[in-house]
A and B are shown apart, each in its own frame.
Chain A
Amino acid sequence: MIWNEHAECMERSSLVELQNQRLHEMVSRLYYNVPFYRKKFQEQGIEPNDIHSIDQLKELPLTTKQDLRDNYPFGLFAVSQREIIRLHASSGTTGKPTVGGYTRRDIEIWSEVVARSLYAAGVDHNDIVHVSYGYGLFTGGLGIHQGAQKIGATVIPASGGNTKKQLQIMHDFGSTVLACTPSYALYLADTMKEIGMNPEELKLRRGIFGAEPWTEEMRKEIEQKLHLKALDIYGLTEIIGPGVAMECEHQKGLHVFEDHFIPEIIDPLTLQPVAEGEIGELVITTVTKEGMPLLRYRTRDLTSMTTQKCACGRTTARLHKLMGRTDDMLIIRGVNVFPSQIESVLLEISETEPHYQLIVDRVNNLDVLEILVEVNESFFSDEIRQLESLSHKIKTAIESTLGISAKIRLVEPRTIERTEGKSKHVIDNRFH
């Protein structure tokens, strides 16, 4: 199903024309309304009228999370506070929170892109959408809520926490769609097993999962445990929240709503664009946003992009399932390692749960990686030999995928900390 066929299935040439025009207007707004950008443009000798094409994007300055911090809280807003009708913020785990300010039109656009996302997942007004993303400053809860409301679905604003109660509500109210983080979806599945609830007792048929990177294997596991089709939604507070890009039912990459957000993929070290299909850092320009428009914002998310047409009929560019974050990247003995790669390896090994923790340490000036892996309860054998061969199997698989050796420690199920939001996968003790 396609919510806005005009915008989502536009001929590429018309889309680029629209983007060119919107980029031009955006650069003017930035130049005249945001001192931070005006200064940057002047330093580079760029006049607003110089920019007419998205081909010129690569000449324009990038925006980083640090720029947002430096201008905290409202320094990058392009309108007066009078016109801002909502504020959101992302959790500031590494410093001050990141703020997003929305005008009335921004909220409308946000609802529109989430509506498109839900339709892409096959969700419509007949559905009961259970939103277990947190409501509050976090964009997840309200973001999905507004979009689900726009398409006329029945919304259950469950928010996060109180898992058993949520299961009861899903059961009693007949929720057909679950929206939450993928790790919370697995946590729900674990809890269902614990209280003896069968997935057949629920009516769930679609999952809208996002706010953290997850793998294909994790998707398979969620689909199998919850009996639904799991789809990936992408977004970030800085840009708008969930709804920047969304998978369609073909599950072949996330469609970027390019009439609002222009994606680029750059090499995180050289900052130069990479070739189509190559992995790099996702950079987004918000061409229609009024409250806090951002030019070439470095998302720190790693992915690749294709502009090939999708079987669903949409013509928009698609992102590969997010592969991790540039700042999650661990450099271990000179090798770049992403936690998501390790997760993929573990999920291919059926005897383990996809719950793991990486502990990085430095012993005698050498980086040491230890991976804690939960053993699957049904696999446990009382023969040491079998458990040792399992740990050897994991070690070999990690070595062949990552090219580094790791020490594997099998741990009891449910002992690695689960958070009801984003899971904590890495403990780096090297720089303490």
Chain B
Amino acid sequence: MLGSVGWPATPPTRAWPGPQLPWQVAYELDFTRLPSQTISGSSVTIGGVGWSVSNATNADTFDLLEGTGLRVAPKDATQFTSSTRTAPWLQVEFDDLMEDHDRTDRLIVQLRVAIAGLSADYQSYGLMVGSGSDANDREVGMLETIWATSLNVRSTRMISSETNLDTSVSAEPRVLQCAWRAPCVETRYSTPEAWPRPQDATIASYDFVLANQVPTTSDGNFAAATNIVRLWAERNNAAAAYTATFEAIRVLRQQL
């Protein structure tokens, strides 16, 4: 027995992901308006939400400064790569930022930053999204502003290895944006300070696939993990000290 005539009602499309739905602001936090506090140890409450902290001792400065924002000044020889994650970072689950989060939700994470004045290999800071709560932080997408010979916006996928795509920029973007639509991430950036509409930001990388599951008898990390967003800053190769400043974060959501 075949299906009834005229089903489905919507017109066909080969596009993937499917047509866009309206975006709603599901979470927004202005770090600049929070009371000052030093960040240390393995957890911190920011804006009423618990964040996980790692490598706090590898930061010369790691705090909230009222009027300025979330500051991370990484020590030298700190990295945030597929193989080494000694850089200081903060992490929160999407589940904790919005009610009724489902992994089929499409999310856009926008991070507003201050210009840090990157000038030497390898100073960088940014955000990471994905199913990063497994032991090795695999299957994640990253977007960072990095000095690597020159100033770039770098999109990265971490699975069993690290794949990078650099986009040369003339100035540090004020907004970094990662769109999450499982199992893909798309990255964008914007120079103006104001929050951009998602489609107005400049694309850094088109959708790339986070999971690299091959035929298997057990569920992979991607299927079992929770989704997170992580903010971090690194400094390597004896680059000069600098301070990354995260001013605000917001999460837009489409619910299918």
Q: Do A and B belong to a common assembly?
A: no
